[in-house]
A = this chain, B = another copy of it.
Amino acid sequence: MLYDLTVVQFSKMLNNLSAILVKGEGFAEAKKIEMSVLLNSRLAPDQFNLTRQVQIACDTAKLAVARLTGQEDSAPKHEDNETTLAELQARIASVVDYLATFTAEDFTGAETRKITHRRWEDKYLTGRDFALEHAIPNIYFHVTTAYAILRHNGVEVGKKDYLGAMPFKS
């Protein structure tokens, strides 16, 4: 299930984030303001701005999958130097493309894999704990915060933009 929770669902959320940013772009054009105003917006002086929220959402997705599958070196590198929406959209697309290279089989053993991080010193999380208590809450945090920054600035986005389409059956 970790494959669906990460590769599949993170891809969906990154695509939702991309569409939310397009709505922000439309808002900026209609209001005749620079998109950079929105990209530099934040909800508190010491909070990361919209650009950084998007960057971290991307990194959370790519690094979670890379670490869970034991392929950390395979993740695309990003220099955190995006200054335009087009560059941020390219970053999102590169991560969605990267996630698409994984299959459910790549997650064999992922639940018990030891996940380490330089900030955690010599401690580790199991892959299962890392996914459920760290990666998953984090990606929703940053997508929601990006959404909230745009919402706060007046962009008309709603819960459906955040959740995306539901796979209804009948």
Residues of B within 8 A of A114 (CB): 169
Bound CA span A12–B132, Å: 11
Bound CA span A168–B114, Å: 10
Q: Is the CB of A168 within 8 A of B134?
A: no
Bound CA span A144–B138, Å: 10
| CB proximity of A162 to chain B, nearest CB, Å | 6
Residues of B within 8 A of A123 (CB): 168-170
Bound CA span A9–B131, Å: 11
Is there a chain B Cβ closer than 8 Å to A78's Cβ?
no
Residues in A90-135 with C-beta less than 8 Å from chain B: 114, 120, 122-126, 128-129, 132-134
Known: A145-B144, A162-B141. A167 touches B133 (CB 8 A): yes
The stretch from A20-28, A29-37, A61-69, A147-155 touching chain B is A147-155
Bound CA span A88–B152, Å: 24
Q: Is the CB of B167 within 8 A of A125?
A: yes
| CB proximity of A160 to chain B, nearest CB, Å | 11
- Contacting A152 at CB < 8 Å: which of B44, B125, B138? B44
- Contacting A125 at CB < 8 Å: which of B138, B141, B168? B168
Is there a chain B Cβ closer than 8 Å to A81's Cβ?
no
Is there a chain B Cβ closer than 8 Å to A136's Cβ?
yes
Known: A43-B148, A159-B141, A169-B124. A4 touches B154 (CB 8 A): no
Given A124-B169, A126-B169, A140-B144, 5 extra CB contacts under 8 A = A123-B168, A126-B167, A138-B163, A140-B140, A141-B159
